[in-house]
Structure 1
Amino acid sequence: MEGYAMTPEDMERGLENSLVDSGPVYKTTVTAVAERKASRGWLWRLCGVLLIAALCAAAALLFAWCQHGRLATMQDGMEPQLEIFIGAKDTHNALKQIAGNAKAAIHLEGEYNPNLTTDTVQWRKDDGQAFSQGGFKLQGNQIVIPHTGLFFVYSQASFRVKCNGPGERTTPLSHVIWRYSDSIGVKGNLLSGVRSVCQQNYGNAESSIGEGWYNAVYLSAVFQLNEGDKLWTETNRLTDVEPEQGKNFFGVFAL
């Protein structure tokens, strides 16, 4: 019998026959492996997306918490410092000194002059202790904010009212700071304060009737303001506003 040598063609045919004979099992195995790989890949991608979303949410919460803490700390630290000047004779000097340390600040003095306006206190930036620096503008009796950031806003309106006697009913004193921002599109009440009038305990002290009763409405707080925002005041009982220099002021300084 003659010897037989297997050729490469015979080996290939044998391999093909083997794969054909075990076709269903082989195809099922390959398909299962491919499906497991695809499932794992999809699961890893989902985990990655969820991880990124969680990190973004945590970063946003951390930023908001830090900003809130910074704002609260600034306000808690600044307000007691300024509150002690209410009613003091050196209020203007103290406020000017604090604001003068800021890179951007404006401090205005005001009075009610019916010859100039009949509906508001008129603010001035070039009189007495008034000044402006760092880009602040006074336009149309409104303060224009020069850039976006945190600002300390404050104002005081002083009144001297003649009280006629016990039980007198009069309109309370009010002083309001308004804000207009292009991002909001409408004006909003930024700060407001109200004081009752002629609430003295007269008793038998009839000699106090007819005397001038003095009080001041002071406002202050820290706010996040935007470039171009406009701030202005609204005060009632304008004819009772104290005309003495240094009694009425309006200011803002950057933190």
Structure 2
Amino acid sequence: MEGYVMTPGDMERGLENSLVDSGPVYKTTVTAVAERKASRGWLWRLCGVLLVVALCAAAALLFAWGQRGRLAMMQDEMEPRLEKLIGAKDTHHTLKQIAGNAKAAIHLEGEYNPNVTADTVQWRKDDGQAFSQGGFELQGNQILIPQTGLFFVYSQASFRVKCNGPGEQTTPLSHVIWRYSDSIGDNANLLSGVRSVCQRNYGDAESNIGEGWYNAVYLGAVFQLNEGDKLWTETNRLTNVESEQGKNFFGVFAL
């Protein structure tokens, strides 16, 4: 008898026959493998979505931290200037010099004029040392911000009050900078300051009677402002506001 040698074709036919004979088992196995692959694909897609969300959140946090860091850096840079302003004999002139070096700035001078308005200091951009550049505008006694960015906002109101004597009940002096922004949709108190009145050296009961008492409320800080924001001031005891040039001012400059 001659020997029989199995050929590749015989092996393929045998494999096909075995698969046909085990049809249900084979189909179940293939289905299970497909389901596992689909499940893994869904998991990978979910992981990819979660990774994108995490990266977006991290980017947002980094941006916020960066903005806070930049604002803090601006504040740090302004501190030496503020110290200079606090110790300066002529704060008005010093601030005007700093603002004059900015690309966008406005510096206003003001006084209380009851013939013009009865409830606020009247600000002027074309009188004395006042000026505006870089798109800043004065509209309706309000400063209009020309573009979004970081700005140094400042103002000062000066008062002279006649002191009548010890124990006098006198309304404190106050000066406030207000802001309106479309993003907020309401008025917001940006800066405010209060000073007591006639509180000096009452060791001698008669030392202050009839004396002209002078003080100024100065405000200044760095803020993130938006294009179209409006800034204005509110001051009490307007009849006691100094009328001398350079005593009252209001300004903003870009950083």
Same fold (TM over 0.5): yes
2:154 match? 154
2:233 match? 233
2:124 match? 124
Q: Are 2:142 and 1:142 aligned?
A: yes
SS of 2:45 mapped into structure 1: helix
Identity level (%): 89
Q: Which runs of 4+ in 1 moved over 4 A?
A: 10-17
- Give the Cα separation in 1 of the matches to 2:218 and 2:12: 98
Q: Name the aligned partner's letter for residue 20 of structure 1.
A: V
Q: Name the aligned partner's letter for residue 237 of structure 2.
A: R
| Cα displacement (A) at 1:12 | 10
- Give the Cα separation in 2 of the matches to 1:70 and 1:19: 70
1:85 match? 85
SS of 1:132 mapped into structure 2: strand
Q: Name the aligned partner's letter for residue 220 of structure 1.
A: G
- Give the Cα separation in 2 of the matches to 1:30 and 1:194: 81
1:224 match? 224
Which stretch of the first structure deviates more once superposed, 85-94 or 211-220?
85-94
| 1:110-169 CA distance string (max 9 Å, x none) | 101111111000001111111100000001100000011111100000111111001100
1:212 match? 212
Unpaired segments of 5 or more residues in structure 2?
Answer: 1-9
| Cα displacement (A) at 1:33 | 1.2
- Give the Cα separation in 1 of the matches to 2:43 and 2:132: 61
| Cα displacement (A) at 1:19 | 3.2
- Give the Cα separation in 2 of the matches to 1:148 and 1:163: 45
Does the aligned pair in 1 maintain the 2:88–2:94 contact within 8 Å?
A: no
Matches for 1:104-115 after TM superposition, within 5 Å: 104-115=104-115
| Cα displacement (A) at 1:46 | 1.2
| Cα displacement (A) at 1:14 | 7.4
Does the aligned pair in 2 maintain the 1:74–1:222 contact within 8 Å?
A: yes
Unpaired segments of 5 or more residues in structure 1?
Answer: 1-9
- Give the Cα separation in 2 of the matches to 1:135 and 1:85: 26
Does the aligned pair in 2 maintain the 1:177–1:231 contact within 8 Å?
A: yes
What root-mean-square deviation, in Å, do the aligned CA atoms of Structure 1 and Structure 2 show?
1.9
| 1:85-104 CA distance string (max 9 Å, x none) | 24744222211111111110
Question: How many residue pairs get matched?
Answer: 246
Question: Structure 2 vs 1, CA of residues 172 and 19 (structure 1 numbering), >3 Å: closer, same or farther?
Answer: same
Does the aligned pair in 2 maintain the 1:175–1:217 contact within 8 Å?
A: yes
- Give the Cα separation in 2 of the matches to 1:12 and 1:203: 117
Q: Are 2:33 and 1:33 aligned?
A: yes
- Give the Cα separation in 2 of the matches to 1:16 and 1:44: 35
Q: Name the aligned partner's letter for residue 41 of structure 2.
A: G
Question: Structure 2 vs 1, CA of residues 206 and 12 (structure 1 numbering), >3 Å: closer, same or farther?
Answer: closer
Which stretch of the first structure deviates more once superposed, 145-154 or 202-211?
202-211
Q: Are 2:61 and 1:61 aligned?
A: yes
TM-score, structure 2 normalization: 0.91
Does the aligned pair in 2 maintain the 1:82–1:95 contact within 8 Å?
A: no
- Give the Cα separation in 1 of the matches to 2:73 and 2:112: 36
TM-score, structure 1 normalization: 0.91
- Give the Cα separation in 1 of the matches to 2:57 and 2:35: 33
- Give the Cα separation in 2 of the matches to 1:79 and 1:107: 20
